[in-house]
Structure 1
């Protein structure tokens, strides 16, 4: 397991009852120490950083202990992008990309063109929520749409959650940040429809005032002041965010048991040892012959040899 200190996810309420904005600053979001930034092209670095921020924004809506997984699949140079965030804001991320097909630079000016050149013309976004304390698993799947990850996320909320939502995401090699403004379910139910509509329109104009450069540079308080100065805004205490890969010897041992003794012993015979490398942090776990035998012994609790460094 690898960890690193992170930054703060903050939540705020905008308007009397019409919307809630969730804003966070994650300097270093696109260069999580669990996956060195040098391993990805700059274009993919930016998109992976945005996905990390998006996963934190989505996880901020969880009301229970669990994990949220944000997944993007495309038919372009970027085949798969996965970002995970727990209820207590532990994040990790990984991307699978055809490096030979990636060209150009990830810039704000050509963001839409770069996004589509990376993900291709067809794909989908999948959001999966798994609860720890009870057997519950929710999954929403929508087609990839729009010219950015933020637009695709807005389409997800409109289609899967049926909640009017505006999203702003930004990331580069130095860090990432994002803001989500959402109309609360049932807003206006008490009859103040005009007030609610005006507050929601104001919230949308507020997020439109903010630029990518501001999002990356400014603290949450300043962003809210610049974008929502004419709104009733209440900022709540933030929560620390940290990058942490949750792989372990025990988890890997469980995966090997699930494969079965025949397949695992076949790999052992061919390679002399069984080594499993975590996709997220690249930490290798090596199982020698004695470890494999103990793994499939009755009442086995072995976790294998120490991780290889």
Structure 2
């Protein structure tokens, strides 16, 4: 932020800021989602617990999806037995995303205090899949993590441990803030990854430190991702100090947050990525979906007034069709 910027001025929103801290051998990203996320959540009028969890998933997906180059898609999807049975967030490189959730309204209503339920309690048991698709079967990759009551932060840690084998720390925050137009949803997140260039440091996790002096903590442990390195221990400790309000504060720039964390080490920031919400649905795509249904299923979709309508689950746009024209178009394409 420039020195003459007014104190308390809104920080840039819907933005991902890549950074690196060479002194600690880490790289990372900070994401701030504002109007784009608020529009998605308000469009669907999700209950507060659902909006909160979907906001976390959106922040995580956008943060990871912006690592793709100029094309490709990154998708996060969950299927589980909790009150929120499914989340889907699509990021389409280089700069847009969409998100939706399936939930059981009755189970949420029956919960004693649904707003106080954790992300893990709302998702329950199942799995989380992260899929990278860069346009061909050869470049398509999917990593799957079991969900068993953990947070999306911890599920992200598990994904990187087992799929990428990169020590990583993730922080996510979602909430509403008061704006000139009333309460609005915001989400923020930060990821750091340990990426040492030194071969000696990269081998550190494979070497036992030997007989340590009495009272000296051995860093190579499950709690430190198995990495016997002071730099990674320091990084984890610093990331652990981040509070939700720092990720959500509309007046706290990502650059200032990084300065708070790493001013003693020095963080280098790179060109930010501006993102927005956008749906990929179209009449042609919906028709392609209908083409995949058996004729009897398409017939069952016809309303009493004789029309056939499909509503996009992501953007709520409604596509109306004449059933006879649909069958004619499908027959012509066969």
Distance 1:199 1:41 in 2: 41
Q: Deviations over 1:56-97 (max 9, x none)?
A: 111122245111111122211111111111221211111111
Do structure 1's residue 139 and structure 2's residue 142 form an aligned pair?
yes
Across the two proteins, how many residue pairs are aligned to each other?
A: 287
CA contact (8 A) 1:265 1:292 kept: no
Q: Which residue of 2 aligns with 1:241?
A: 275
Q: Which residue of 2 aligns with 1:170?
A: 173
Q: Which residue of 2 aligns with 1:73?
A: 79
1:81-96 to 2 correspondences below 5 Å: 81-96=87-102
Q: Which residue of 1 aligns with 2:287?
A: 253
Distance 2:105 2:128 in 1: 22
CA contact (8 A) 1:150 1:167 kept: yes
**Runs of at least 5 residues in structure 1 that lack an aligned partner in the other structure:** 301-309
Q: 1:101 aligns with which of 87, 107, 122?
A: 107
Structure with the greater alpha carbon radius of gyration:
2
- The structure-2 alpha-carbon separation of the partners of 1:286 and 1:192, relative to structure 1 and needing over 3 Å to count, comes to closer
Greater CA drift, 256-265 or 217-226? 256-265
What's the TM-score once normalised by structure 2's chain length? 0.77
**Runs of at least 5 residues in structure 2 that lack an aligned partner in the other structure:** 1-11, 177-184, 205-227
CA contact (8 A) 1:30 1:46 kept: no
Q: Which residue of 2 aligns with 1:114?
A: 118
SS at match of 1:280: coil
CA contact (8 A) 1:249 1:285 kept: yes
Q: 1:152 aligns with which of 150, 155, 159?
A: 155
- The structure-2 alpha-carbon separation of the partners of 1:295 and 1:270, relative to structure 1 and needing over 3 Å to count, comes to farther
- The structure-2 alpha-carbon separation of the partners of 1:142 and 1:17, relative to structure 1 and needing over 3 Å to count, comes to same
Distance 1:133 1:116 in 2: 34
- The structure-2 alpha-carbon separation of the partners of 1:134 and 1:63, relative to structure 1 and needing over 3 Å to count, comes to farther
SS at match of 1:286: strand
Structure 1 residue 6 displacement after superposition: 6.5
Structure 1 residue 187 displacement after superposition: 3.4
CA contact (8 A) 1:29 1:49 kept: no
Distance 1:235 1:26 in 2: 18
Distance 2:328 2:34 in 1: 44
Do structure 1's residue 187 and structure 2's residue 190 form an aligned pair?
no
What's the TM-score once normalised by structure 1's chain length? 0.83
